[in-house]
Amino acid sequence: MSHEAVLHGHESHGHDDHGHHEHHDTFLTKYVFSQDHKMIAKQFLITGMVWAVLGGLMSVLFRLQLGYPDASFPWLESILGKWAKGGQITPEAYYALVTTHGTVLVFFVLTAGLSGTFANFLIPLQIGARDMASPFMNMLSYWFFFSASIVMLSSLFVETGPFSGGWTAYPPLSALHDASPGSKTGMDLWIIAMALFVVSSLLGGLNYIATILNMRTKGMSMTRLPLSIWALFFTAVLGVLSFPVLLSGLILLIFDRNFGTSFYLSDIFVNGVGALSNEGGSAILFQHLFWFLGHPEVYIILLPAMGMVSEILSVNSRKPIFGYMAMLGSLFAIAVLAFLVWAHHMFVTGLNPFLGSVFVLLTLLIAVPSAIKVFNWLTTLWRGNIRFTPGMLFAIGFVSLFISGGLTGIWLGNAALDIHLHDTYFVIAHFHIVMGVASMFGMFAGVYHWFPKMYGRYLNNSLGYIHFWVTIAGAYMIFWPMHYEGLAGMPRRYFDFSIWESFKQFADLNRFISTVSMIVFAVQILFLINFFYSIFKGRKVTVQNPWESNTLEWTAPINPGHGNWPGEIPEVHRWPYDYGKDGHDFIPQTTPVGADETGTH
């Protein structure tokens, strides 16, 4: 059905409740300043992908330094100029790369790129709404993200370099212009970009919450929502409650940086400058404010992946998700606990030991809902009839990575172990596996699974399989051995280990890790080729419901127009997980409950 026909169908039923709706979309209103949630989702996705490539490339560059600290690569100088004099990355450039990699991947890729994409795409389609509660705010959310991207990108080209004090931006390093070249203009731009980003995520988050609560179609009670929607709901709540705290922390930082206040500064003597007049501030205050967002942020990244994985595992196992209510309860528990554990990032800051012990208890408590989720996923696979679509493979990979990375969380959450492992490669291994790679897998799973709905075409399966197997093997080869480096106390954020008697024994391992990381990066390019080729030339989707799934988005036309359903929005009669019930392979949510059906959810 053409876009035009969809619009007319949509109109004739008198459902045009969006005053802004235009009949003749111009290029500008359709592709650029679009208010269609599906187009905004694609904008988030593609911007996120651009950042993922940049951020990934940065990691390849700094891995080059870590793997080959003595080698010189003349071509590096030709692309990085003074940042790689003589073909060797300078410490300054190294720290800028590490910092930007972290910031970009955490916020721009795994927050905006992940929940921005899928909250926008899935919420209206899966709950049965024509669009978001406020399509205009939704559009603003993307454009704030876009401007944040532009500012962040521009900071890479500042003469003194982008911010280089780590993505956590701890003051005084981030507050003092003279403490590091990256703390000059680069840091101001970093703060502005982050502030714009917070605005974007608030506009998005409020919209997602309002839409889920108010715009569900007839029959779609909260407990009939797919778990992907529940996860996105909790994600939005976490974001709305925690991002403002980061913003307030950053505003105080701006004041300390530029207007002579002393929120974070006290008793400081800077080499070459002398004693500063600031007294009475607390550098630790920023860490509290930062991690009050920072820890929920981890779940903002992880929950959407969990939700989509639950959905994809169930669809492709042809089995209901096991323990829907337990899944929901554990999502809720994680969302609540997310706000009560931030200080576990601060066990070694001189925190009151009693306070530390409370945070140990609450942190390890998170392992309980996490364990419930893992066992429920395993039980979902058990006695299923599994179809290995690329989306399903990535969902299974997610569970594997979530287990591996989650278990090391039990090590780090225990303060008595953290006191040794804090800020070592063990931490890098832990959070890259459980949050970075796992959520990336959730994102890939989502892209492979919903690509047919996004573009009306399929991605190439064989490339998807290659992408999955190389990525999961590579991810483990990169991050598994880092645990060993961490157990030796090898610190994070070191430019070069060759002067350290305690850590230099890992030189060959570092080279191995760097080599694998390049291969894994190369395979991601393969995914990009697949993605962009398939948008235009992929195999066309010919059936409305290619995965034989129960959820509402597959009742919409193959290429849904703005408004999603021509005619009435379908009514929902059951939960979305009736797979393999009463001898039926699947029963869509729109099918009324039959008289002879066994107990319904």
Partner 1 sequence: MTLFLSIAIIALIYVVIFQIAKASEYVSILKGEEASRKQNNKINGFLMVAFLVLGFIGIYVCNKAYYGKTLLAQGAASVQGEKVDQMLWITLIITGIVFVITQVLLFWFAYKYQESDNRKSFFFAHSTKLELIWTAIPAITLTVLVIFGLRNWFFFTGEAPKNAMVVEVTGKQFGWIFRYPGKDAIFGKKYYKNIDPATNSVGIIWDDNYSQDDILTEQTMYVVKGQPVKLIIGSRDVVHDVGLSHFRLKMDAVPGIPTTMWFTPKYTTKEMREKTNNPNFAYEISCDQMCGNGHYSMKGIIEVVEQEEYDLWMAKQKPQYFVAFPEKDPTAVKVDGAAKTDSTTKVATAKM
Rg, C-alpha atoms of the chain:
24
Name every residue whose Cβ is closer than 8 Å to that of residue 506 and which is 6 or more positions away in sequence: 484, 485, 488, 490, 497
Residues in 206-245 at the binding interface with partner 1, rule: CB under 8 A: none
Structure tokens of 536?
């235009």
Report in angstroms how near the CB of residue 324 gets to partner 1 at its nearest.
7
Closer to partner 1 by Cβ: residue 5 or 57:
57
Closer to partner 1 by Cβ: residue 241 or 477:
477
Query: Site for partner 1 (CB under 8 A): which residue of 8, 18, 318, 511?
Result: 318
Residues in 348-377 at the binding interface with partner 1, rule: CB under 8 A: 348-350, 353, 356-357, 360-361, 364-365, 367-368, 371-372, 374-377
- The structure tokens 């080499």 sit at 271
Residue 521 found at the interface with partner 1 (CB under 8 A) = no
Report in angstroms how near the CB of residue 208 gets to partner 1 at its nearest.
27
CA dihedral 378, 380, 386, 389 (to 10 degrees): -80
Report in angstroms how near the CB of residue 257 gets to partner 1 at its nearest.
13
Report in angstroms how near the CB of residue 57 gets to partner 1 at its nearest.
14
Q: What is the DSSP letter of 460?
A: P
- Secondary structure (DSSP) of 407-433: HHHHHHHSHHHHHHHTTBHHHHHHHII
Query: Site for partner 1 (CB under 8 A): which residue of 243, 439, 581, 589?
Result: 581
Structure tokens of 224?
């009939």
Closer to partner 1 by Cβ: residue 299 or 398:
398
Rounded to an integer, what is the distance from CA 446 to the centroid of its chain?
Answer: 12
- Secondary structure (DSSP) of 148-204: HHHHHHHHTTSTT-S--S-TT--TTTTT-TTT-GGGSHHHHHHHHHHHHHHHHHHHH
Residue 530 found at the interface with partner 1 (CB under 8 A) = yes
Residues in 135-174 at the binding interface with partner 1, rule: CB under 8 A: 164-166, 168, 170-173
The CA distance from 453 to 26, in Å, is 23
The CA distance from 241 to 80, in Å, is 40
Q: What is the DSSP letter of 581?
A: E
Closer to partner 1 by Cβ: residue 456 or 491:
491
Report in angstroms how near the CB of residue 72 gets to partner 1 at its nearest.
14
Report in angstroms how near the CB of residue 345 gets to partner 1 at its nearest.
11
Report in angstroms how near the CB of residue 214 gets to partner 1 at its nearest.
28
Report in angstroms how near the CB of residue 103 gets to partner 1 at its nearest.
13
Query: Site for partner 1 (CB under 8 A): which residue of 4, 496, 568, 571?
Result: 496
- Helix (H) or strand (E) holding 270, with range, is strand 269-270
Query: Site for partner 1 (CB under 8 A): which residue of 140, 415, 438, 558?
Result: 415
HSE-up of residue 246 (Cα within 13 Å, Cβ side): 30
Query: Site for partner 1 (CB under 8 A): which residue of 44, 83, 95, 291?
Result: 95
Report in angstroms how near the CB of residue 564 gets to partner 1 at its nearest.
27
Residues in 550-569 at the binding interface with partner 1, rule: CB under 8 A: none
Query: Site for partner 1 (CB under 8 A): which residue of 87, 244, 456, 491?
Result: 491
Residue 463 found at the interface with partner 1 (CB under 8 A) = yes
The CA distance from 56 to 344, in Å, is 28
Report in angstroms how near the CB of residue 74 gets to partner 1 at its nearest.
9
Query: Site for partner 1 (CB under 8 A): which residue of 45, 520, 579, 590?
Result: 579
Structure tokens of 37?
């949630």
Residues in 266-305 at the binding interface with partner 1, rule: CB under 8 A: 266-271, 275, 279-284
Residue 541 found at the interface with partner 1 (CB under 8 A) = no
The CA distance from 576 to 571, in Å, is 13
Residue 484 found at the interface with partner 1 (CB under 8 A) = yes
Report in angstroms how near the CB of residue 190 gets to partner 1 at its nearest.
14
Residues in 6-65 at the binding interface with partner 1, rule: CB under 8 A: none
Q: Which stretch binds partner 1 (CB under 8 A): 32-40, 47-55, 213-221, 393-401?
A: 393-401
Closer to partner 1 by Cβ: residue 364 or 535:
364
Q: How many positions of this chain bind partner 1 (CB under 8 A)? A: 134
Residue 493 found at the interface with partner 1 (CB under 8 A) = yes
Residue 336 found at the interface with partner 1 (CB under 8 A) = no
Closer to partner 1 by Cβ: residue 254 or 326:
326
Residue 526 found at the interface with partner 1 (CB under 8 A) = yes
Residue 536 found at the interface with partner 1 (CB under 8 A) = no
The CA distance from 38 to 337, in Å, is 32
Residue 596 found at the interface with partner 1 (CB under 8 A) = no
CB atoms within 10 A of CB 599: 5
Name every residue whose Cβ is closer than 8 Å to that of residue 394 and which is 6 or more positions away in sequence: 312, 441, 442, 444, 445, 448, 468
- The structure tokens 């880092």 sit at 482
- The binding track of 96-135 with respect to partner 1, each residue x by CB under 8 A or -, is ----------------------------------------
Closer to partner 1 by Cβ: residue 13 or 318:
318
- The structure tokens 């029963």 sit at 587
Sequence-distant contacts of 252-260: CB under 8 A, at least 24 apart: 252/286, 252/289, 253/169, 253/171, 253/174, 253/175, 253/191, 253/286, 254/188, 254/191, 256/171, 256/175, 256/281, 257/174, 257/175, 257/176, 257/177, 257/187, 257/188, 257/191, 258/188
Residue pair 455/534 in contact by the 8 Å Cβ criterion: yes
Q: Is the dihedral of CA 412, 413, 416, 419 positive or negative?
A: positive
The CA distance from 375 to 399, in Å, is 10
Residue 593 found at the interface with partner 1 (CB under 8 A) = no
Residue 572 found at the interface with partner 1 (CB under 8 A) = no
Q: Is the dihedral of CA 15, 20, 24, 28 positive or negative?
A: negative
Report in angstroms how near the CB of residue 62 gets to partner 1 at its nearest.
12
Which residues, listed in sequence order, are joined to residue 586 by a DSSP beta bridge? 579
Report in angstroms how near the CB of residue 127 gets to partner 1 at its nearest.
21
Q: Which stretch binds partner 1 (CB under 8 A): 8-16, 250-258, 337-345, 411-419?
A: 411-419
Among 250, 209, 201, smallest CA distance to 232 is for: 209
